[in-house]
Amino acid sequence: MKIKFLFLFFLWIPVAVSLFSQQPDKMMIVIIDGARHTETFGDSVHQFIPEMWELSSQGTVISEFRNDGITYTSRAIPALWCGAWTDIFDTVYNSSSTSYAKLPTIFEYFRKDKNAPADDCFYVLEFIQDLWLPSFDEDYGPDYWPQFHSEGSTDAEVAEQTEWVMDNYHPHFLWIYLADVDHAGHSGNWNEYTSAIQNADQVVGQLWDKIQSDSFYQNTTTLIVTNDHGRHDDQHGGFENHGCNCEGCRHIMFLALGPNVKENYTSSQSRVLPDMAVTASHILGINPSKSTGEVITEILNPNSVSDPEYMSMNFHLSAYPNPFDTNTKIHFTLSQTEEVSLSICNPEGIKVRTLINEMKFKGDYDILWDSRSYSGQIVNPGIYTCTLQSGINKQSIKLVKLSN
C-alpha cells in the first residue's frame, strides 16, 4: 500500500505543477490611440480590422463602450491607467519636463498587491523623450511604477519590442501603446488613417499569436484592446481631429479575450473608459483602491467572478459625472421589485447620507446627490463610497468629489 501511495504521489506531482503553471494570471492591454468606432467594430464589414474581427469570435466585444470624460490623449490615457478620471500635474523629473497622474495607476496596484518586481510589469511604447508618469501617491508611487520600454517609432516596431520583452522577461503584465492611428488621423489623409488602423489590427493579431505560441502565456493570458478616444464624426469636423463631446469622439471600441472572458459574445450594456482598468484589476486579483470604475461583470465567465459583491446581477449601479464638483446623478437598474437602500459613506467609512431606504419597483432610477450630508452641509472633497443594497445583494462604486 505504501509503495502504491508513493507511486501515485510522484505521478501526481507533474500534474499539479502543470495545473499550477496554468493559472490565468497574466494580462496584456493594447491601446490603439484615436481609432474611431466607425472604422473599427462600428463598421459592419470590418474592412480595416479583419484580425480583431476574427479574434472576436474567441472573446467579447462591447458595442457601447465610451470615453465619458475628456477626449484628448493627455487626459484619457491617465484615466485608462487609473480606472478613474484623475487630475494631471506638471513636473520636472530627471531634468525633463513632464506630467504625472494624481491617482495611482493599475501598474502601481499590480506591483504593490502582487509584490512584483519592475520587470514583471512593462509599459511598451514608441520612443518618447519625456514620458508621462504614473502617480506619486503616498500609498503607491515610484516604488511601484512599471518598467518603461520606450523604443522605436512605429507600431510595427513597438510590436517587435513587445515580443523582445516577452522573450527576455516574461512579465505577467504588459501594457502596449500604439500611436500611429492618431498621428495618421491628424494628417488629414484618409488612406493613411485607415492604413494605420489596418497596421494596428495586424499588430493585435501578431501579439495574440505570440501569446498562444509561448507556453508561459498560452491559455493563461487575458488580452484587452481599446482606445483612449475616437475622432470627430462627420457632423463635427470629420476624422482629422478630436476633443469634443460628439459621438465620434466618445464612442470607442472594446475587445477582450482570454480564459476569463466569454467567447463569441457581444455586450450592448453601456460601459465607460474607467471600467477597463478596474475590470483588468479584478481579473488579476488586485484591488484598485482609489479607482472609480466598475467591474464589467457581464463579459466574464461566472467562475472568474469570485467576489460576492459582484455575484448579484439584480441591479446595476453607476454615476455621472464622476468625478464631480457639486452634483452627481446616481443611476441604478433593478431587475425585480425589492426593498433597497442607497447610501453614501465618507473616506473614513462613516455614512454621511442615505438617499433611499424604501421599496422600489423593477426599472431604472436616477437619484441626484447634491454633495450634502445629513446636516445639509456640503461635504469636503475626497473619495466617497456609494452603496446600493437589497438583502444580501450589494454593489458599491466610488464617487470622487472635487473642489467645492
The amino acid sitting at 296 is I
Quick: pLDDT tens for 353-377.
999 998 888 778 899 999 999 999 9
Write out 287-310 in H/E/C secondary structure: CCCCCCCCCCHHHECHHHCCCHHH
More confident residue, 331 or 39: 39
Could you give the residue ranges of the DSSP H alpha helices within 104-233? 106-114, 155-169, 180-187, 190-213
Alpha carbons 215 and 308: distance in angstroms, whole number: 32
**Start and end residues for every CATH 3.40.720.10 domain found in the chain:** 23-306
Q: For residue 311, name the pLDDT band (cuts at 50, 70, 90).
A: very low
Residue found by looking up cell 501578431 in the block: 206
Closest by CA position to 201, among listed 227, 183, 234: 227
- The rounded mean pLDDT for the chain is 89
Q: Give the separation between CA 53 and CA 49, rounded to whole angstroms.
A: 6
- CB of 18 within 8 A of CB of 224? no
* Structure confidence at residue 13 (pLDDT): 42
Q: What distance separates the 2 farthest-apart alpha carbons in the chain? A: 80
Distance of alpha carbon 221 from alpha carbon 28, whole angstroms: 7
Instruction: Give the C-alpha separation, 357 to 342, whole Å.
Output: 7
Is residue 14's pLDDT more than 60?
Answer: no
Positions of CATH 2.60.40.4070 in the chain: 315-401
Q: Write down the pLDDT at residue 391.
A: 65
pLDDT score at 303: 58
pLDDT of 305: 45
> Which pLDDT tens digit goes with each residue over 122-171?
999 999 999 999 999 999 999 999 999 999 999 999 999 999 999 999 99
Residue 252: pLDDT band (50, 70, 90) is: very high
pTM equals 0.76
How do residues 33-78 score in pLDDT, each as one tens digit? 999 999 999 999 999 999 999 999 999 999 999 999 999 999 999 9
Determine the average pLDDT of the residues in 384-400: 83
Q: Does domain 23-306 match CATH 3.40.50.300? A: no
**Domain 315-401 in CATH 2.60.40.1580:** no
